[in-house]
Structure 1
């Protein structure tokens, strides 16, 4: 089982790399973040903790993309705005997650 301490570090690393590339935002999926940390998919997965870490990083302007029903599953996808404020500013900006529903396309 991966240490839950690794999720925030990997998330911050991905945000930092995107900021260095001067991206305006980054879209991160919980299943992909968990794979980067390890043990996903598998018997020792900690997907719930991974999703909690991703949601805790959200600030004003960030958005959950897709189906809000899957906000604790591998389908959780969040668009984070960049650059991120420093930790003091971010603590003041924390807010409940904004849900964004994508239109369903018929096949």
Structure 2
């Protein structure tokens, strides 16, 4: 993603896959991802044009059997959504 562009669901998915791959290379059993941290890495957060609902949707779409939502904000989408993803994917 380039500076000043608004992140897309594909950007969030690609960032998730990158974290999964890094965890697998390190031999981890799981990775925990927090939506606010993921969005900051991808870009555009915090800010008036943030895409937190898209970030959270991308995180949920990547869930598989054995993955766990460790924390969900009351609204469902927010910077504190935390999901533990089992590895390998």
TM-score interval for Structure 1 and Structure 2 normalised by the shorter chain: 0.7 to 0.9
TM-score by length of 2: 0.88
Partner of 2:70: 65
Q: Aligned runs of 1:4-83 on 2, under 5 Å?
A: 4-67=9-72, 69-83=74-88
Q: Which runs of 4+ in 1 moved over 2 A?
A: 66-71
Tell which structure's C-alpha radius of gyration is larger.
Answer: 1
User: Aligned equivalents of 2:72 and 2:9: distance in 1?
Assistant: 25
Instruction: Structure 2 unaligned segments of length 5 or more: list them.
Output: 1-5
- Partner Cα separation in structure 1 for residue 59 and residue 20 of structure 2: 11
TM (norm. structure 1) is 0.74
Unaligned runs of 5+ in 1: 85-107
Asked which structure has the greater RCO (Cα within 8 Å, sep 6+), the reply is 2
SS at match of 2:48: coil
